[in-house]
Amino acid sequence: MHSRRPHRRSRSRAGAVLLAAAALVVSACTATGHQTSSASPAARAAQAGTAALTALPRATPSALRPYYAQKPKWRACGAPGFECATVRAPLDYAAPGEGDVRLAVARKKATGPGRRLGSLLVNPGGPGGSAIGYLQAYAGVGYPAEVRARYDMVAVDPRGVARSEPVECLGGPEMDTYTQSDVTPDDQREVDGLVTAYRKFAEGCGAHAPELLRHVSTVETARDMDIVRQALGDERLAYVGASYGTFLGATYAGLFPDRVGRLVLDGAMDPSLPARRLNLDQTAGFETAFRAFAKDCVRQAGCPLGGAGTSPERAGENLKAFFDRLDARPVPTGDADGRRLGESLATTGVIAAMYDESAWPRLREALTAAMKQNDGAGLLALSDSYYEREANGDYSNLMFANAAVNCLDLPPSFEGPDEVRKALPAFQKASPVFGEGLAWAALNCAYWPVAPTGEPHRIEAKGARPIVVVGTTRDPATPYRWARALAAQLSSGRLLTYDGDGHTAYGRGSDCIDRAINAYLLRGTPPQDGKRCS
């Protein structure tokens, strides 16, 4: 499952929206292609959501003590006021000392006035999003001033991501080909072509870092965060995680409940669900978000999806018909590398704009240009911002790390094309516009070179201090039901609801949400469970 947080005001990457799911990788896909990981009773129980994450012993094992004794050497980096350091973690926690991972850490120290409260770690999601990029572009300068005054703002790029030994899979031209793969295959030849694309992607990842690829799970990253916490000198972890970052934060709480400080999990995921259910729920989430966009669009003069009074259903039919036309005949974009706008890139561009309603005017303009003027440049730009493709044709490692983590964290959504075909009706019911493409997208980890190590599980974090779980009612990437589920699982969970559109809630314009979270971060006062804001 690929879920990302949009960066507001400024972003760690170009474009209007960031950190979420897309055409080829939107699924909570995970696993190896030919292993049936649900064969064991334990796995079946986990897929039913009955397994639970077990807390680690409180005492630090002797083999890990050198890692916990580290003192980071900070140096100036990036924009003024930011410092960077490197912290080591064991590649394999089952064999500490037999190979390390170098984790990149950045911070911006508390500005004052007021007593320093410690470090506040932030993570924007993904998996695969650069926390350091997020810190330097947004959180370190755009979080509420009173929060930045009292906390050292800190980010760690997770293992395999960005500055922390990044996983690499394909070069720029190869990624261009991959992102244009047809994810709505019409016949066996096109199915075979999609499978070939998935295999080539997986083989590229496996060739680059075969050992690291076995050790980029969310559990391992959560354990890394505890080493960083100690290195920063904090007794407890204070943390704001968005989107996939909620899964990471909840995992930390499940492993180290006694070390939980003030945790905010914004745009929450439900760790108890199997991959296929996550994919299906997210597909429905995109449909909900699209309908909200469609209702807004048809109220505007010149909406390309229909005039005033056009129903969301009819607007969706018009968009799907446009996608079908692009599948047969892509339109020009003016791209220097000769890319044309086909169905896959167009779908990604639309999905990218679902994460933040502030991107809706841009999407409306891009759809107007593509549908009425045969100009696909606007939708291509949205797609490129989503994939983090630079103007020179290079890609960040976001999509590579995303697959690497997802494919390790859960058993697969589908073992092969036949399973996708059987599931198509359910996905198309969940979203007539996006369902077919997102169902086939969920196949992408079926050919992964590394077996999964995780299973769906409940996280209770018994004994942890209050944890604030935030859900947005019309969130496209992390449906609101996931926030309710996670808050119910956590023994100390407090559900905070934003009745609105877009992905995540903190810092998105709701004074009610921001006041509640700021009060918790600054004074340790959690909101009343069930509090609603708009």
pLDDT at 473: 97
User: Which CATH architecture best describes the domain 3-73+103-156+230-273+455-533?
Assistant: 3-Layer(aba) Sandwich (3.40)
Rounded CA separation 46/487 (Å): 19
Q: What is the pLDDT of residues 358-407, one digit of tens each?
A: 999 999 999 999 999 999 999 999 999 999 999 999 999 999 999 999 99
pLDDT at 4: 53
Percent of the chain with pLDDT over 70: 91
Q: What are phi and psi of 199, to 5 degrees?
A: -65, -45
- Three-class SS string for 58-83? CCCCHHHHHHHCCCCCCEECCCCCEE
Q: How many CA atoms lie within 13 A of 3 on its CB side?
A: 32
What's the angle, vertex CA 505, arms to CA 503 and CA 507, rounded to 5? 115
Q: What are phi and psi of 119, to 5 degrees?
A: -100, 145
* CA of residue 148 relative to chain centroid, distance: 24
Whose structure tokens read 């299973």?
A: 455
For residue 113, whether the previous peptide bond is cis, meaning omega lies within 30 degrees of 0, is: yes
Residues designated as active site: 243, 475, 503
Closest CA to 5 of 251, 316, 361, 243: 243
Neighbours of 412 (CB within 10 A): 31
The DSSP 8-state label assigned to residue 477 in this structure reads S
Let me know if 206 is exposed, middle or buried by CB neighbors in 10 A (0-12, 13-18, 19+).
Answer: middle
Start-to-end CA span in the chain (Å): 27
Rounded CA separation 173/280 (Å): 31
Q: Where are the domains of the chain?
A: 3-73+103-156+230-273+455-533
pLDDT at 51: 77
Listed as ranges, residues in the chain with pLDDT below 50 are 1, 6-50
Rounded CA separation 530/374 (Å): 48
Rounded CA separation 22/286 (Å): 10
